[in-house]
Amino acid sequence: MFTTDIEQIPGRRTLWEQTAQRLQTLIANGTIAPGTRLTENALAKQLGVSRAPLREAIRHLMNIGLLISEPYKGVRVLELTSEGLHQLYEYRTGIEQMAFRSLWPKRSAESFADLDRRHARLLEAIDSGDSALAIDRELELHQWCYELSGNALLIDAWGRVKPHLRCYFVLHQRAHNRSGPARQSHDRYLEHAKGESLPAALDFIEAHMKQGFDQVIDHVG
Amino acid sequence: MFTTDIEQIPGRRTLWEQTAQRLQTLIANGTIAPGTRLTENALAKQLGVSRAPLREAIRHLMNIGLLISEPYKGVRVLELTSEGLHQLYEYRTGIEQMAFRSLWPKRSAESFADLDRRHARLLEAIDSGDSALAIDRELELHQWCYELSGNALLIDAWGRVKPHLRCYFVLHQRAHNRSGPARQSHDRYLEHAKGESLPAALDFIEAHMKQGFDQVIDHVG
DNA sequence: TGCGATTTGTCCGTATGTATT
DNA sequence: TAATACATACGGACAAATCGC
């Protein structure tokens, strides 16, 4: 693997990993607003950790891109802009197409079963009305293609994109007060993933991403 | 010990950035061999810094992927494998094609002049016989497409790929005792970058990358 | 199996450098 | 210019985990 995947190994994580995860959640759900300037001492006290692990957590979120640091001036939370969203979707479209090209020869019955399982869990979350859970499940659904590709750099790139998507999704969901993209769109995503034509799948990904982009773009400053 | 190597631009960057840069160079040029386990106290003494900034530098290189960390076990330098090289080139091909798709409408006379300037500097380095410099110049040449794309995520992705490429390039150069890819290949790269057909450019990138991959693959464990 | 040695992870106090007022 | 606030850096200390014997 590339970086340590924080979201796994739930039990015995180091303090800086837990701190990074907590910060990431606070940023994603808007508790810490975009553009907020973070002061280390105050934040360390609030989180109940010392500055050392906090600074390492900050360094991690910097590398993910959720925090922006200016030396000797401090760090601030990334602002959500239409330009940023555009670049995010351009990038995400590219890496997801890359993943599909890479995974295409590796497709199997088991991988399709895995995909179906993720899809079922997404539908389950949507029906439950828990929109935060639905967002996570949707990200897990798309993670299928990266894991199947087996390319550590792609998996890592996805891990970096995911928290950004979560931020924008939450923003969109708050504006609309309903959960993510339509069910039908994901049905067609699965059809193409299991279908026979790679070019058709790539085209659909492009359209699928553009649809997601258009849904969110109106709610960004 | 190896503190003699780099003393470049210690200007106004923070200590952890300088430390990360020094470590990166030591890893790239093989002074610290792949697979080496790093112990913090010893390394801090050798580099003349305290553990705090060293740990942040390590965290940075972890996120780049040059160092691998297992909690409480330590960090070790990434090993160069044929599988890793394959994934690196698959990924690099993808993001460079992505960059070309993104920059294509933004091409201009000035951007072509910029590209020519980078090319000239590469040829200059090749002719000078300084292979380390030639490697840097080749990376700067390719960086053109990412900068012109203007996509911050793509630029960031390239920034993470670059140090890995440097490691493999140095490995290859040491085996061959000559500098990088042929001049003709870069000439054609420029022709396609300035040409009229995006699909042709994308195809050439694929071939160009595969050629680079084949040149290096034989020298990896 | 346990025990000690080593290393990482964490915390604290303090000093220095930088930006801002 | 002085003063304040904060980020950065250092050193020492202890706790926690791992590894070798």
Contact by Cβ (8 Å): B200, B192: yes
| Domain-embedded: residue B160 | yes
Contact by Cβ (8 Å): A65, A166: no
CATH code for the domain in which residue A21 is found:
1.10.10.10
Contacts of B17 in chain A (CB under 8 A): 71
| Contact across the interface for B156 and A4, Cβ inside 8 Å | no
| Contact across the interface for A4 and B69, Cβ inside 8 Å | yes
Are residues B45 and B88 both part of a single domain? Answer: no
Are residues B97 and B175 both part of a single domain? Answer: yes
Are residues A87 and A146 both part of a single domain? Answer: yes
Are residues B204 and B122 both part of a single domain? Answer: yes
Bases of strand D lying below 7 A from some protein CB: 6-13, 16-19
| Domain-embedded: residue A169 | yes
Residue range B17-65, pLDDT digits in tens: 999 999 999 999 999 999 999 999 999 999 999 999 999 999 999 999 9
Give the mutation candidate from A8, A91, A146, A158 for the B interface (greatest B CB count, under 10 A).
A91
Are residues A61 and A100 both part of a single domain? Answer: no
Q: Give the C-alpha separation, A218 to A216, whole Å.
A: 6
| Domain-embedded: residue B130 | yes
What residue of A is the nearest CA neighbor of B157? A157
Distance from CA of B94 to the nearest CA of A (A): 6
Q: Give the C-alpha separation, B194 to B190, whole Å.
A: 6
- Of B60, B77, B94, which residue sits at a domain end? B77
Six-digit token string for A137? 């499940």
Are residues A213 and A118 both part of a single domain? Answer: yes
User: What integer pLDDT is reported at residue A178 of this predicted model?
Assistant: 63
Among the listed residues A7, A44, A158, A186, the one whose alpha carbon sits nearest the alpha carbon of residue A93:
A158
| Domain-embedded: residue B1 | no
Are residues B38 and B17 both part of a single domain? Answer: yes
| Domain-embedded: residue A120 | yes
Residue range B115-138, pLDDT digits in tens: 999 999 999 999 998 989 999 999
| Contact across the interface for B63 and A3, Cβ inside 8 Å | yes
- Of A77, A99, A123, which residue sits at a domain end? A77
Contact by Cβ (8 Å): B8, B15: no
Q: Determine whether the distance from the CB of B12 to the nearest atom of strand D is below 7 Å.
A: no
Are residues A52 and A86 both part of a single domain? Answer: no
Q: Which of A3, A12, A71 sits opposite B13 (nearest CB)?
A: A71
| Domain-embedded: residue A1 | no
Which residues lie across from A70 on neighbouring strands? A74
Q: Does the CB of B94 have a partner CB in chain A at under 8 Å?
A: yes
In total, how many domains does chain A have?
Answer: 2
Are residues A87 and A71 both part of a single domain? Answer: no
Are residues A43 and A134 both part of a single domain? Answer: no
Are residues A106 and A160 both part of a single domain? Answer: yes
Question: Cα–Cα distances in Å, from B121 out to A110, B10, B134, B142, B189?
Answer: 51, 24, 9, 12, 15
Are residues B95 and B190 both part of a single domain? Answer: yes
Walk along chain A (221 residues) and give the pLDDT tens digit of each residue.
333 343 333 445 899 999 999 999 999 988 999 999 999 999 999 999 999 999 999 999 999 999 999 988 999 999 999 999 999 999 999 999 999 999 999 999 999 999 999 999 999 999 998 989 999 999 999 999 999 999 999 999 999 999 999 999 988 888 876 655 667 889 999 999 999 999 999 999 999 999 989 988 887 86
CATH code for the domain in which residue B175 is found:
1.20.120.530
| Domain-embedded: residue B165 | yes
Confidence of residue B178 (pLDDT cuts 50, 70, 90): low
Q: How far is the CA of B28 from the C1' of C19 (A)?
A: 35
Could you list the residue range(s) of the whole structural domain that residue A115 is in?
A: 82-220
Residue range B61-91, pLDDT digits in tens: 999 999 999 999 999 999 999 999 999 999 9
